[in-house]
Amino acid sequence: MTFDQWTRQVLDRVESALDHYLPAADVLPAPLHDAMRYAVMGGGKRVRPLLCHAAGELTNATPEALDAAACALEMIHVYSLVHDDMPCMDDDDMRRGKPTVHVKYDEPTALLVGDALQSQAFVTLTSDVLGAQRQASLVRELALASGSIGMAGGQAIDLASVGHSLTREQLETMHRLKTGALLRAAVRMGALAGETPSAQDLDALDRYAAAVGLAFQVVDDILDVTADSATLGKTAGKDAKDGKPTYVSIIGLDASRALAQQLRADAHAALEPFGARAQRLAELADLVVNRVS
């Protein structure tokens, strides 16, 4: 199977699973469920679900177990986008090529969509396709990665940094929490959904995820200045306009491109112990670095 075929297969599975794990649009309260589906379905690169499925190949996790983990990860990711786009945060009108939730619906709906998607992620992780032991360990991974010492904490540092100049180290800390923690959780949860991985294997996967997570952000910063809004599906040039510190603003465009390639190499190096079983993870590192949107 080529990487493209594998990717398409996983994306199809995940789309069906999201449809399954989200309450139907006619379940009471229907307007809220409609808005939750608007936010989640039919959009996004689904990077976290792909990483989760790829990591699951290392531990022979079942596709059904990986679907549940992947959907929970995507629900958390989407909730963070919906809240980040709100007027009191980044105030963005466009996301994944569509009006953002508070524009399409209203602000209270956007707030509740985010809140309810977070809950739904934990409902999803406690479905029967995972045994109690794995449910508990995956819940802990996801809750730690999304909370105050993970994604939400990174968001708080990001907000406090607007208009301030950050050192490269401070910028890295912010991204390690804001986007890195959930990408790391995607890889770990994929592995933990199967046969229990060794501490050594989890360490190697953490090194891989750290490199991919940082590469993801560096490429985001590059695309913010080099791509247009239509290609990105969100407002381009926004970070510069908002005075947000980025890799491009701190180390420049050429050094940022070189850094992305270095991180790609680091990711590949971390996967060496796994050999050919880590093929999809290696290909995903390439995808993250070479993407154009």
CA distance 248 to 242: 14
Tell me the number of residues near a copy of itself by CB under 8 A. Answer: 55
- Selected binder of a copy of itself within 16, 60, 89, 228 (CB under 8 A): 89
Using the rule CB under 8 A, give the single segment among 48-56, 82-90, 222-230, 269-277 that binds a copy of itself.
82-90
Q: Which of 43, 63, 153, 233 binds a copy of itself (CB under 8 A)?
A: 153
Tell me if 181 contacts a copy of itself by CB under 8 A. no
Stretch of residues binding a copy of itself (CB under 8 A), selected from 129-137, 205-213, 225-233, 235-243: 129-137
The one-letter amino acid code at 84 reads: D
Compare residues 160 and 258 and give the one whose CB is closer to a copy of itself.
160
1, 4, 26, 28: which one binds a copy of itself (CB under 8 A): 28
Spatial separation of the C-alpha atoms in residues 115 and 117, rounded to whole Å: 6
Record the tokens describing residue 89, joined without a space.
């945060």
115 touching a copy of itself, by CB under 8 A: yes
Q: Determine, following the binding rule CB under 8 A, whether residue 31 of this chain makes contact with a copy of itself.
A: yes
Residue 179 interacts with a copy of itself (CB under 8 A): yes or no:
no
| Closest to a copy of itself by CB, 31 or 252 | 31
Residues interacting with a copy of itself, by CB under 8 A?
23, 27-29, 31-33, 36, 79-80, 83, 86-89, 107-109, 111-112, 114-116, 118-123, 125-126, 132-133, 135-137, 139-140, 142-144, 146-150, 152-153, 155-157, 159-160, 173, 177
